[in-house]
Each structure stands twice: as structure tokens, then as C-alpha cells.
Chains A and B, each alone.
Chain A
Amino acid sequence: MTMLDQTQGLHENATDLGGRGSVSDYIALLKPRVMSLVVFTAAVGLVMAPGNQHPFLSFISILCIAVGGGASGALNMWWDADIDAVMSRTKKRPIPAGKITRQEAFAFGMVLSFGSVLTLGLVANWVAAGLLAFTIFFYVVIYTMWLKRSTPQNIVIGGAAGALPPMVGWAAVTGDVTLVSIALFMITFTWTPPHFWALALVKNGDYQDAGVPMLPVVAGETATRHQIVLYSLLLLPVGMAPYFLGFATAFYGVGSAILGLVFLAYAIRVWKVREGDAARKAAMSLFKFSLFYLMLIFAGLLAENVIGLV
């Protein structure tokens, strides 16, 4: 079956009356795994921000950021239903699986988007709400609808959407954007390309079938490996930036340097090992370590603030 046939199939599904999705299908639309990363990084931004906010309002602020992130996921699935049906990693998602119609996903995503932004504005402040609205807009319109299918730099620029939550968390307390919150943004922004390109090296065929111009599809695997090493090199000082800027201790500085060097070592292995199963394994190892890296970097910042070291 060609992609076009499958797309037509989806449109037939879309004219379906709907109403078949279960609660778990709707939860799947929110991309819970991505949401957990959003919650975690936003919480770190919120905890690090100077100032006092009532714990209940902080909790609701994080909830709004989480729901806003989930809404972006639902709107991404609404738009990308045709290519999701082609790729093995995504073909079981609720829309290609025929459990939820595109219209239902769109309505669900829009209601949650407006609800989360308005509630954050009322609970925290309108700077944070504006940043959350911008995050949703950037992910859905700039990344999903425009960049994803048109340029191999899709995830480099689109990565900004995934990097914004700590800035939103920070702004929920302070009502502003500072060098510190920009540094937190830069960590996830720089981390995103090597993270996704490692996965793209493994799932190259999937992206090729779906016609998504990921870097390995357009520029080839060798060029992608060069880029992975370059971004991993850049990530080393960016990950240490909180220490250089004085809002993390030397303990964090040393820890982030070690983590950055290990990240670089995994990237160099991907660069060196280019053939067969070993190459796939190297790329998957980098992908898995990158998740561990981001979690530890933000956990380190969180721990230093909770313990009161900074």
C-alpha cells in the first residue's frame, strides 16, 4: 500500500462518526513520555527561580505546562496522522489505529491548549502564559506543520519547543526571562539534535518511507555522524553553563563535565562504527544515554536547589 492510499484511508476514517476512543487512547494522544520530560524540566525551572510562590499555585503551574505540552502532542498527531500510519514507531497511535478521528484529536488539543494557557495566566502570570502559548504554537505550527516535512534542520529549530518548558516554569514564578532561564533552555536545545539524529540513524528507513527529510535521509548517514559529534562537543560547555554563570556549585560543574565527556565518547563511537549491527547498537546506546544525560543534568540542578547548596 502506498502512503497515498493510507492517507486516503485515514480521511475515510476521519469522516467516521467517532466516539470510539477510550480514556487511555486520549491519554496516548498527550504523549505521556514526552510530557514527563516537560514536567521534569519545567519543575526544575520553577524550583530554581528566585521568589516565593504558593506551593499549590506552583503545582497548578506545572500541571498547566504539562497539559499544554500534552495538547501540543495531540495537535501533532492530528496533523501527522498520514505519516504516523506509515512509520512502524507510530502506526499504533490512536488516529492511525482508527480509535480516534482527526477531528476529535484536533478538538481535544485545542481545548487543552486554550484551557492550559488561560489557567496559567490566571494562576501565575501572563508572561508565563504567553511563553506556554508560544511553545504550543512553535511545536504545532512551526515544527509540525512547516519544518518537519520541509527541511533536514527540522529538529534543530523545532527543538526550541521542547527546550522552552524550564523557561515557562521560571517565568511562572518571576514573570520574566533571564540569562539563567535562557541557559536552561540552551541545554535541551543543544541536546535535541544528537538525541534525535541517533534515533534517526536507527529508524532511517521509516523516515524515508514517510518522506520526512530527516538529516540521514537527505544528507546521508556520514554527514549526520559529523553533526552528532559537533553538537555533542557544543553540549559539553552548554551543559556546564549553570556552573559558569554561578547558579550551580563546582560539584555540578564537575558532574556535568563528566556527563558531557561520556556523551561525547558515545557520539564518537557512533562516528567511528558505521557498518551493520554494531553501528545500530552504537546509535541506540547514544540515544539511551542522551535521555539519562538530560535527566541527570536537570536532577543535579534540582537537587542543589532543594538541598540549598546554591
Chain B
Amino acid sequence: MNKHNEVLSEEHTKTRRGRSVALAVTLGVLVAMFYVITIVKLGPGVIDRPM
């Protein structure tokens, strides 16, 4: 059931799950990507800098 109290069909539920998985994977990839970009651009010294 969605927020409009509609009962979702099996196909609708399946496509929604697919989208959710794709979004989760995309977010995970973005986090990893920006982590590596930071290391590559600033170098490993980024964690040694004076605070």
C-alpha cells in the first residue's frame, strides 16, 4: 500500500523495489566516489593536518 492508500500491484511493488535498490547502490557509490576524490585531490596528508 502506498501513501494514498492504494494497494500496489505485484508489478508496481517490483518496480518500486528495483528503484529503491538502484537508489541505495547509487548513494553508496557516491559516498565511496567522494571519499576517493578527497584522498586523490588532497592526498593522504589530509588526515595529518593540524586541527
Residues of A participating in the B interface, judged by any CB pair closer than 8 Å: 17, 19-23, 26, 54, 56-57, 60, 122-123
Question: In the complex, are the beta carbons of B2 and A19 less than 8 A apart?
Answer: yes
B15 CB, nearest partner CB in chain A, Å:
4
Interface residues of B in 25-51 (CB under 8 A from A): 33, 36-37, 40-41
Residue of A at shortest CB range from B39?
Answer: A56
Of B12, B18, B22, B33, which is within 8 A of A60 by CB? B33
Residues of B participating in the A interface, judged by any CB pair closer than 8 Å: 2, 4, 6, 12, 15-16, 18-19, 22, 33, 36-37, 40-41
Question: In the complex, are the beta carbons of B37 and A23 less than 8 A apart?
Answer: no
Of A20, A26, A57, A122, which is within 8 A of B12 by CB? A20
Question: In the complex, are the beta carbons of B19 and A57 less than 8 A apart?
Answer: no
Residues in chain B near residue A20, CB distance under 8 A = 12, 15
Task: Pick 25 A–B contacts, CB within 8 A, sort by A.
Answer: A17-B4, A17-B6, A19-B2, A19-B12, A19-B16, A21-B15, A21-B19, A22-B18, A22-B19, A23-B15, A23-B18, A23-B22, A26-B19, A26-B22, A54-B40, A56-B36, A56-B37, A56-B40, A57-B37, A57-B40, A57-B41, A60-B33, A122-B37, A123-B37, A123-B41
Residues in chain B near residue A122, CB distance under 8 A = 37
Q: How far is the CA of A54 from the CA of B39 in the complex (A)?
A: 11
Q: How far is the CA of A17 from the CA of B5 in the complex (A)?
A: 12
Q: How far is the CA of A23 from the CA of B40 in the complex (A)?
A: 31
In the complex, the 9 A-B pairs of residues with the closest C-beta atoms, listed nearest first = A22-B15, A23-B22, A23-B18, A54-B40, A56-B40, A22-B18, A123-B37, A23-B19, A57-B40
